[in-house]
Amino acid sequence: MPDDDEIKKVSIIVSRGSLEGVYPGLIMANGARMKGIDANLFFTFFGLHAIVKKKMNNIKIGTVGNPALCVPTPMGVGMPTWLGAIPGMSWIATAMMKKEMEKIDIPPVGEFVEMIHDAGGKIYACKATVDMFKLAPQDFCPQVDKVLTVGEFYEMSAGAQIIFT
């Protein structure tokens, strides 16, 4: 007999376009699908970069004003936030983080989106953001199921746990 407290559906909102803003939503959606939980991913504002073909595999770590940023490893020595403004620092931090992620078999953004979609996860773009950024259907990766209004997203999320990353 199923447990009434069991999560059956999650709707995850991804609004940040940095590496550390996109991956939590992807990891949570993938984990949900692995447990048989329905997963909807709703990309809005700069989080939309994760599903735009030209941007999805070039997402970087936000170094400016990131008080949690550590070097040389993700859990290493803290770095003063002003160092994030040095030219090339975002590239260096991103390369280091991607290297660590690769070691534990976390795929690149494009591949991760494809995996989630292939596993039955639904991928949606926010209509207001799509309109504001003047994007067209051909700008998105093929895994995008639909461009939705916020109201449509809420309707489809009925009964789901809504997670904002």
Give the CATH number, domain containing residue 126.
Answer: 3.40.1260.10
Ranges of beta strands (E only) in 4-157 are 9-14, 38-43, 70-71, 77-78, 122-126, 146-148
- β-strand 161-164 against 9-14: which pairing, if any? parallel
Whether residue 126 is found in the same domain as residue 139: yes
Instruction: Please report whether residue 159 resides in a domain.
Output: yes
Q: pLDDT confidence of 55, banded at 50, 70, 90?
A: very high
Which residues span the domain enclosing 96? Answer: 60-107
**pTM score, whole prediction:** 0.87
Separation between Cα atoms, residue 3 and residue 148, nearest integer Å:
31
Separation between Cα atoms, residue 158 and residue 47, nearest integer Å:
22
pLDDT at 151: 96
